């Protein structure tokens, strides 16, 4: 499993009403919202064997980052049972079901009836990933975002996510 962050500069779309306190945003959420004013972003997740999905940085990742963090922490703990992350925004309509089994994580990609581009063209699939690989792939993505926050906004690590 490999996760890559793709950032494309865009003409700034400044949100004069972006206020961390009023919006009750965590540091991570605030810096992610701030970043979206200057870039378009995508995240590709490659499970090998031509099993690859794309997440929009804002419509998918930003909306579901809490569930992603929960999934990583669940895998770290080795929690039993099947769980899912539902990507519901802007016509995404797909699920990543995951289950920790020993040293592996079984992941299933399932589409809902309204699945939109680009994942509409992806066949549903299952993949098995080592727990360590799953954890490190997500950790590396969150670190890459933290580096963007530091570089662009002088966040000094304030937007960094630390997994337990």
pLDDT digits (tens, 9 = 90+) for 108-146: 999 999 999 899 999 999 999 999 999 999 999 999 999
**Radius of gyration from C-alpha coordinates of the chain:** 16
- Within 10 Å of residue 50's Cβ, how many Cβ atoms? 9
Q: Does any domain span residue 10?
A: yes
Q: Does any domain span residue 89?
A: yes
Mean pLDDT across the stretch 19-30?
Answer: 94
Q: Does any domain span residue 159?
A: no
Q: Does any domain span residue 163?
A: no
Q: Does any domain span residue 31?
A: yes
Q: What confidence score (pLDDT) does residue 158 get? A: 85
Q: Does any domain span residue 44?
A: yes
Q: Which domain holds residue 24?
A: 2-153
Q: Does any domain span residue 160?
A: no
Spatial CA neighbour of 86 closest among 127, 115, 50, 46: 115
Q: Does any domain span residue 78?
A: yes
pLDDT digits (tens, 9 = 90+) for 83-94: 999 999 877 899
pLDDT digits (tens, 9 = 90+) for 50-84: 999 999 999 999 999 999 999 999 999 999 999 99
**CATH number of 104's domain:** 3.30.2450
Domain count, the chain: 1
Q: What confidence score (pLDDT) does residue 90 get? A: 72
Contacts of 84 (CB under 8 A, 6+ apart): 95, 96, 97, 98
């Amino acid at each position: 499993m490999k996760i890559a962050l793709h950032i494309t500069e865009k003409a700034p779309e400044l949100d004069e009403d972006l206020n961390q306190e009023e919006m009750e945003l965590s540091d991570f959420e605030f810096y992610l919202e701030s970043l979206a004013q200057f870039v378009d972003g995508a995240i590709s997740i490659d499970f090998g064997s031509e099993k690859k999905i794309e997440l929009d940085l804002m419509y998918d990742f930003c909306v579901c980052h809490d569930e992603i963090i929960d999934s990583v922490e669940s895998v770290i703990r080795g929690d039993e049972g099947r769980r899912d992350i539902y990507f519901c925004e802007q016509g995404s309509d797909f699920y990543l079901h995951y289950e920790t089994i020993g040293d592996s994580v079984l992941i299933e990609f399932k589409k809902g009836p309204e699945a939109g581009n680009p994942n509409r063209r992806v066949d549903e699939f299952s993949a098995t990933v080592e727990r360590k690989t799953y954890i490190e792939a997500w950790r590396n993505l969150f670190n890459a975002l933290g580096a963007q926050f530091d570089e662009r906004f002088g966040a000094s690590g304030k937007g960094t996510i630390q997994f337990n």
